[in-house]
Amino acid sequence: MASVADLLADKRVCICAGSGGVGKTTTSAAIAAGMAARGKKVAVLTIDPAKRLADSLGLPELGNTERQVDPELFERCGVEVAEGGELWAMMLDAKATFDEVVRNHAPDAATRDRILSNRIYQQLSAALAGSQEYMAMEKLFEIHAEDRYDLLVLDTPPSRNALDFLDAPRRLTQFIEGRALQVFMMPTGLGMKLFGRGTSMMFGILRRITGVDLLEELAEFFQAFSGMVGGFRERARRVDELLSAPESSFLVVCAPQGEPISEAVYFHRKLIEAKMPFGGVIVNKVQYEGRLPDEAEAQLPELEDLLESAVGDPDLAARVAANFEDFRRLSERDRRNVEHLARELRTRAVIQVPYLDEDVHDLAGLMRVNRYLFASGSEERAEIAASV
């Protein structure tokens, strides 16, 4: 049974992917911290707006540039960091990253300034279809090209559909190249003629009321943007190459319930179809039953009687026994679901992280998660889980 250290031994890019609410941000931070402790210079990138990553890493805030986590935090947690190990983190700002892309792709300073100052661009740059997912990959590509880190860990944007991340470059390019936008890439006068008289009157009324020529703003934006389509297309191709390269690895993150398991199976299938490198799957918040001695197992049918004699309260004993039985059923459900997941994915690289009693909100909590992510085998994980 592989550990995260085994799965990422020769990798430079780790993408933690999965549906929302399954613990991707915590998992990404824990992986980054664990690899840093093992001597890697690691940067973790997130788009999570809830500041969970910043709080867990002891940083007051995160911005669109990387910040180093204080090495003393590792020492306070009793973690010895191997030589060369550093942990850096950043929270992606899609709007700021889009601005950087424009600066990089604009053919000249005049075009760059026209786009960045255009009011239509300022509104659309944070809302274009797929922009958040695309900008996450764009930033990943940019930092990877700078070659300053041994490993990059990307916490993919929260989404109801994890495939949005893979489809983002194609969807954004299709938007920019769409036929409907070709109207605005024509000279303003010609574009105006293609609109009906009523539409032209509407734009005229808006111009008189607001002082803004909306059609002219739209035309100016897309005319300036048209010269960058080729650059976007080429950059999207190179981003796709990075994601599919042998030095990259997708770790699918899910929860043990039925729906997240089904989504993980579906996402894995799409990864394989897209020829993306699948590394393994991490199942969070698993209920472990733990192993009881044989003599204790034999006494389970009389558990309620044993509890009653121990606590002297029949009602309390009944509730404790019922709670324990519910826990056993949840554990059995999780076990069956994880086994089903492993069969469907045809992999032994399934790492289980148990449901922890305390929420993970600091580096010490991340290192507790790492006890399972970096355990060397299933037996060691089972022993650790039994102690939770």
* Per-residue three-class SS string for the chain: CCCHHHHCCCCCEEEEECCCCCCHHHHHHHHHHHHHHCCCEEEEEECCCCCHHHHHCCCCCCCCCCEECCHHHHHHCCCCCCCCCEEEEEECCHHHHHHHHHHHHCCCHHHHHHHHHCHHHHHHCCCCCCHHHHHHHHHHHHHHHHCCCCEEEEECCCCCCCCHHHHHHHHHHHHHHCHHHHHHHCCHHHHHHCCCHHHHHHHHHHHHHHCCCHHHHHHHHHHHHHCCHHHHHHHHHHHHHHHHCCCEEEEEEECCCHHHHHHHHHHHHHHHHCCCCEEEEEEEEECCCCCCCHHHHHCHHHHHHHHHHHHCCHHHHHHHHHHHHHHHHHHHHHHHHHHHHHHHHCCCCEEEEECCCCCCCCHHHHHHHHHHHCCCCHHHHHHHHHCC
Q: Which of 105-109, 110-114, 223-227, 278-282 has the lowest mean pLDDT?
A: 223-227
How far is it, in rounded angstroms, from Cα 44 to Cα 89? 5
> Is 90 exceeded by the pLDDT of residue 337?
yes
Q: Which of 149-163, 293-307, 329-343 has the lowest mean pLDDT?
A: 293-307
Q: What is the pLDDT of residue 129?
A: 44
Q: What is the pLDDT of residue 162?
A: 59
Please report, for residues 42, 113, 239, 273, 286, the alpha-carbon distance to residue 147 in angstroms, rounded to integers and kept in the order given: 11, 29, 15, 29, 37
Q: What is the pLDDT of residue 225?
A: 67
Residue 7: pLDDT band with limits 50, 70, 90: very high
Residue 138: pLDDT band with limits 50, 70, 90: confident
Asked whether 368 and 78 are in contact (CB, 8 A), the reply is: no
Q: What is the pLDDT of residue 105?
A: 78
pTM: 0.80
Q: What is the pLDDT of residue 189?
A: 45
Average pLDDT taken over every residue of the chain: 78
Q: What is the pLDDT of residue 218?
A: 65
Helices 229-244 and 164-177, interaxial angle, to 10°?
A: 160
- Could you give the percent of the chain with pLDDT greater than 70? 68
Among 1, 64, 62, 2, residue whose Cα is nearest residue 29? 62
How far is it, in rounded angstroms, from Cα 136 to Cα 236? 12
Asked whether 28 and 16 are in contact (CB, 8 A), the reply is: yes
For the residues 326-336, what does the mean pLDDT come to? 90
For the residues 68-83, what does the mean pLDDT come to? 92
What confidence tens digit (pLDDT) does each residue in 298-329 have? 445 566 566 666 666 777 777 777 777 888 88
The pair of three-digit structure tokens given for residue 184, joined into one six-digit string: 């605005």
Q: What is the pLDDT of residue 190?
A: 45
How far is it, in rounded angstroms, from Cα 359 to Cα 344? 30
> Is 90 exceeded by the pLDDT of residue 173?
no
Asked whether 177 and 228 are in contact (CB, 8 A), the reply is: no
274 versus 60: the higher-pLDDT residue is 274
Among 224, 198, 228, 199, residue whose Cα is nearest residue 120? 224
4 versus 322: the higher-pLDDT residue is 4
Q: What are phi and psi of 78, to 5 degrees?
A: 75, 20
**Which is it for strands 41-46 and 86-91: parallel, antiparallel or unpaired?**
parallel
Other residues' Cβ atoms within 10 Å of the Cβ of residue 172: 22
Among 136, 37, 123, residue whose Cα is nearest residue 90? 136
> Is 60 exceeded by the pLDDT of residue 294?
no
> Is 50 exceeded by the pLDDT of residue 293?
no
Among 381, 371, 157, 350, residue whose Cα is nearest residue 261? 350
The pair of three-digit structure tokens given for residue 313, joined into one six-digit string: 């309260």
Q: What are the beta bridge partners of residue 249?
A: 14
What confidence tens digit (pLDDT) does each residue in 115-136 have? 888 877 777 665 554 566 777 7
What confidence tens digit (pLDDT) does each residue in 190-241 have? 444 444 444 444 445 434 444 444 556 666 666 666 666 677 777 778 888 8
Asked whether 138 and 169 are in contact (CB, 8 A), the reply is: no
381 versus 64: the higher-pLDDT residue is 64
